[in-house]
Amino acid sequence: MPVQMELSRILIRETNDYQIIELRELNGERTFPIVIGLPEAQAIERRLRGIEIKRPQTHELLANLIQAFGGELQSITIHNLEDHTFFASLDIKKADGTLMNVDSRPSDAIALGIAKSVPIYVAEHVLEGAQSEA
């Protein structure tokens, strides 16, 4: 059964090639980091702060496309961890009411969903695997 998580912090160091976001169990104490790129970290931070930009970036473009086709992002699910790499999906409710899962990097999914407070779920086996790697 997936565990609901929340973004607890984002660490941005522009001098590094990688950045870190940390997810925390919503009604618990477990946390784990995910290494992401600088553009994704900046997009997440910008969307968290509600900073508007003149032209849509990739995450705004995707959000606009989902909406234009009558869909709605319902949740983000991090469903696998393999060779230190997390795998996620965008869980989109289509116009006809059916649910569609679209493969995504966790960082892109979170950047897309964070502005709308979309819930983040992590499969229990992924959470356990992330804990053992920490």
**Mean pLDDT throughout 110-132?**
90
Q: What is the mean pLDDT of residues 4-23?
A: 89
CB 77 within 8 A of CB 121: yes
CA 83 to chain CA mean position, Å = 19
pLDDT over 60 (residue 134): no
Q: Which fold is adopted by the domain 3-133?
A: Bifunctional nuclease domain (3.10.690)
133 pLDDT tier (thresholds 50, 70, 90): low
Give the separation between CA 98 and CA 104, rounded to whole angstroms: 19
Q: What integer best gives the mean pLDDT of the chain?
A: 91
Q: What is the rounded CA–CA span in Å between residue 47 and residue 130?
A: 26
- Tens of pLDDT, residues 40-90: 898 899 888 888 888 888 888 999 999 999 999 999 999 999 998 999 999
Q: Report domain extents, the chain.
A: 3-133
Q: Residues 9, 21: contact at Cβ < 8 Å?
A: yes
Query: Residue 76's CB: how many other CB atoms inside 10 A?
Result: 24
Give the C-alpha separation, 94 to 99, whole Å: 6
Q: How many CB atoms lie within 10 A of CB 13?
A: 11
From residue 59, how far is each of 10, 37, 40, 97, 113 by CA, in Å?
Answer: 17, 14, 9, 23, 9
Q: What's the confidence (pLDDT) of residue 16?
A: 78
